[in-house]
Amino acid sequence: MKVFITISFAVLFLSAKAQPISKLEASQPESKRMTPEILAQLGKLNTLGITKDRKSIVFSVRKYNLKEDKSTTTNFNLSIDGGEAKEIKSTDDLLINDRISPDGKYSISMNEVKVKNIFGKDVYPQFSKSDVMIYDNLNYRHWDTWEDGSFAHVFLNTITDKKITDSIDIMPNEPFDSPQKPFGGDEDFIWAPGGRQIVYVTKKKFGKDYALSTNTDIYSYSLETGKTINLTDGMEGYDIKPAYSSKGELGFLSMKTDGYESDKNDIIIYNGTTKLNLTKDWDGTVDDFKWSTDGLKIYFTAATDGTIQLFSVDNIRVENKTPVVKQITRGDFDIRNMIGQVDNKMFVEITDMNHAAEIYAANLSDGSTKQISHINDAIYSDLTLGKIEKRFFTATDGKPLLVWVIYPPDFDSKKKYPTLLYCQGGPQSPLTQFYSYRWNFQLMASNGYIVVAPNRRGMPGHGVKWNEQISRDYGGQNMKDYLLSIDELSKEPYVDKARLGAVGASYGGYSVYFLAGIHNKRFKTFIAHDGIFDWRSMYGTTEEIFFVNQDLGGPYWKNENSAVQKSYNEFNPINFVKKWDTPILIIQGGKDYRVPIEQGLGAFQAAQLLGIKSKLLYFPNENHWVLKDQNGLVWQHEFYQWLKETL
């Protein structure tokens, strides 16, 4: 059997001979269909906020210039009524600086503080040129960064004559982070009303305890006493995103279970004496929330029915009444960010599978939406976009299964099309109307593929039980959901059943590896990006142990546990490698410490030794995602070149 040895490194892009996708697909006019180059040059929206006078919205747009290989970011000011956005040089005078106390005497900031000695030269000053790192506890690396002994701390700064004259670390000598790493930001530390307390989020655990737990808490530091109190003491899961109402009441998001990062996310309000769970009886999980301007209700976003919509909670603190959740918006789109409320409108960012984020005004009375920014209208107006269809199949257990189907532009039902099963990551992440610059469904469709994207078991938006079902059942019902979805759509005459592929990243990459051993020759090709290949190796090298403990049932050595036995045996892709018989492209980030490099290398080595056509696309300086522009273009070209060769 012939062994294919093909390794592609991202750094080879500049000298590569691969032709643009537009040339590979000569029958598809470049001016009419999405290409990787067009996708890379779309303007990327970053909303900064509503102005002090509440009359306009400030945002920035990042654009990448392919010819010059550089990006530029431009700030704009846009009326809340829409119209032409005006370019501005500075945003300082337009936006409220929430880092400064109400009386203007203080500010808050984040600084890295050295707390632990990690480097050999710290422990042994006489060996100053050594580069060794010494660890005696877990959490020695996180996401894409090795622990260096420094921690993010909140600082209280004294302002005199508009200058900082003194700074105090309010977390002295603590080996804890605020903001939380790797994704926390300014929302993790805020001023309480009156400016006499600083409220911040941190997980006061270190080492192994940190790696095993999700128990973040919300703390309040008093400027007058210098003392800190825990506002969420006894609440064992994630407690994050503190925000005060105009009436001075604290709201935050909370999960109940320690170690369960995808637990039901609820909105809690706290008046200093009692806490009330506003969404306890609502069958869903909250994404984000914002107080109404009058402080009498809360608006929030959440996944529902394959989309992300805007909701409200009424009857807050109304005596003898239960909080009532109401859905405000409806439609095949995602509300990805609540910018803020002005009168009866909530300004939001909206995406769908065909369009990147733009700013919209959502009417809070009738749920209607109006687009007010037009960053990429000119580009989209020159493209032919494919149809997106929401379909429902009956799963193997009789439950309705929502499946998004994305068709090529100029779709002709009399023709036959190669078809891709898209496997979502998470595993408990929603598959909604998101817009990705990597897993872009419109780009897949524009290259002539139908895309099948099931809302399989484990995804938010279909009730808490549906969301939770996947834990400790990775190779079970959700795999049946995947196979049923592709089988059902394959009954359509326009699907070429001899040209089916399966693609995905993270848990989607795991799904591809697992399907490769059980698909019974359904698929002709596979693409797995940063997927889990071997659960034993994964457990020994991933950084957040709480994730694998919750989802697998515990460590592999606890084999008396039935859930553990099933996870490491029945649901472990490496155990089915002997059944692999299909070409596979494996993509791996060198700085991915969530799904470490051993996973991709192990899968590639197995495929090579089995004599299966396979390729490794290795990004040494990327993490779980691909963030650099040219690396992203290599990713896209290799993705479609592989499909062209194998499908």
Confidence of residue 28 (pLDDT cuts 50, 70, 90): very low
Q: In which order are the strands placed within the sheet that holds 495-505?
A: 6-9, 614-619, 584-589, 525-529, 495-505, 417-423, 450-454, 400-406, 388-394
DSSP state of 567: I
User: What contacts 394, CB < 8 A, 6 or more positions away?
Assistant: 400, 401
- Is 270 within 8 Å of 250 (Cβ atoms)? yes
* Catalytic positions, written as ranges: 506, 592, 624
Q: Report the alpha-carbon distance of residue 488 to residue 83 in Å, rounded.
A: 46
Q: d(Cα 218, Cα 633) in Å, to the nearest integer?
A: 41
CB neighbours (10 Å) of residue 641?
A: 17
* Cis preceding-peptide flag for 555 (omega within 30 of 0): no
CATH no. for 6-30+383-646:
3.40.50.1820
Residue 640 · residue 501 · CB < 8 Å: no
CATH architecture of the domain formed by 231-375: 6 Propeller (2.120)
DSSP 486-533: HHHHTTSTTEEEEEEEEEEETHHHHHHHHHHHHSTT--SEEEEES---
User: Over the stretch 140-168, which tens digit does the pLDDT of each residue have?
Assistant: 999 999 999 999 999 999 999 999 999 99
* pLDDT confidence band for 319 (50 / 70 / 90): confident
Strands 614-619 and 6-9: parallel
The residue type found at 309 is Q
The predicted model gives 478-482 an average pLDDT of 98
Q: Is 387 helix (H, G, I), strand (E, B) or coil?
A: coil
pLDDT-above-70 percentage for the chain? 95
Token representation of residue 462: 């279909």
Is the predicted pLDDT of residue 22 greater than 60, yes or no?
Answer: no
Give how far Cα 203 sits from Cα of 181, 399, 491, Å.
10, 39, 51
| Per-residue pLDDT tens over the stretch 491-540 | 999 999 999 999 999 999 999 999 999 999 999 999 999 999 999 999 99
125 secondary structure, DSSP code: G
Q: What is the pLDDT of residues 340-385, one digit of tens each?
A: 999 999 999 999 999 999 999 999 999 999 999 999 999 999 999 9
pLDDT digit string, tens, across residues 180-209: 999 999 999 999 999 999 999 999 999 999
pLDDT at 318 over 80: no
Query: Does the structure show a pLDDT above 50 at 307?
Result: yes
Residue 420 and residue 450: Cα distance in Å, rounded?
Answer: 6
What is the Cα–Cα distance from 270 to 247, expressed in whole angstroms? 12
Q: What is the pLDDT of residue 233?
A: 97
Percent of the chain at pLDDT exceeding 90: 93
- The average pLDDT across 305-320 equals 90
Reported as a single tens digit per residue, the pLDDT across 211-233 is 999 999 999 999 999 999 999 99
The structure tokens listed for 615 are 């390729």
* Residues whose CB is less than 8 angstroms from the CB of residue 502 and which lie 6 or more positions away in sequence, other chains included: 420, 421, 423, 482, 486, 511, 512, 515, 516, 519, 523, 525, 526, 527
Sign of the alpha-carbon dihedral angle for 211, 213, 218, 219: negative
Whole-angstrom CA distances from 12 to 67, 130, 240, 629, 641 are 17, 32, 42, 14, 15
pLDDT of 30 reads 45
Sheet with 275-277, edge to edge strand ranges:
239-244, 250-254, 266-270, 275-277
Residues 646, 44: Cα–Cα separation, whole Å: 33
Q: Which amino acid is at 465?
A: K
Place of tokens 């848990």: 507
| β-sheet bridge partners, residue 307 | 304
**15-19, 187-191, 292-296, range with the lowest pLDDT:** 15-19
Report d(CA 342, CA 358) in Å as an integer.
18
Give residue-wise pLDDT tens across range 575-612: 999 999 999 999 999 999 999 999 999 999 999 999 99
**Collapsed DSSP state (helix, strand, coil) of residue 202:** strand
Which pLDDT value is given to residue 6?
37
Can you read off the two tokens belonging to residue 240? 């994050």
Of 154, 251, 239, 235, the C-alpha closest to 193 is: 251
pLDDT at 315: 86
Asked whether the beta carbons of 94 and 87 are under 8 A apart, the reply is no
Residue 7 has pLDDT above 70, yes or no: no
For residue 607, give every residue at least 6 positions away whose Cβ sits within 8 Å of its Cβ, in sequence order, or none.
580, 584, 586, 614
Quick check: 320 pLDDT over 90?
Answer: no
Prior bond of 179 cis (ω within 30°):
yes
Helix H or strand E encompassing 38: helix 36-40
The alpha-helical segments, DSSP class H, found in 76-225 are 120-123, 208-212
Q: Comparing C-alpha atoms, which of 592, 593, 576 is closest to residue 584? A: 576
Query: With DSSP H G I counted as helix, E B as strand and the rest as coil, what are the percentages for the chain, rounded to 5?
Result: 20, 35, 45
pLDDT at position 15 over 70? no
pLDDT for residue 397 is more than 80: yes
Provide the residue ranges of all domains of the chain, joining segments of one domain with +.
6-30+383-646, 44-88, 231-375
Kind and range of the H or E run holding 221: strand 217-222
Indicate if the pLDDT at residue 29 is higher than 60.
Answer: no
Q: What is the mean pLDDT of the chain?
A: 94
CA–CA separation, 292 vs 472, rounded Å?
39
Place of tokens 């929206």: 45
Rounded (5°) CA angle 13-16-21: 85
| Closest to 228 (Cα-Cα) out of 186, 174, 287 | 174
pLDDT recorded at residue 11: 37
Question: Under a CB-based contact definition with an 8 Å cutoff, are residues 42 and 379 in contact?
Answer: yes
- Give 283-287 contacts, CB < 8 A, sequence gap 24+: 283/463, 283/464, 284/460, 284/461, 284/463, 284/464, 285/460, 285/464, 285/467, 286/253
What sign does the dihedral 597-603-604-608 (CA atoms) show? positive
Q: Please state the pTM of the whole predicted model.
A: 0.94
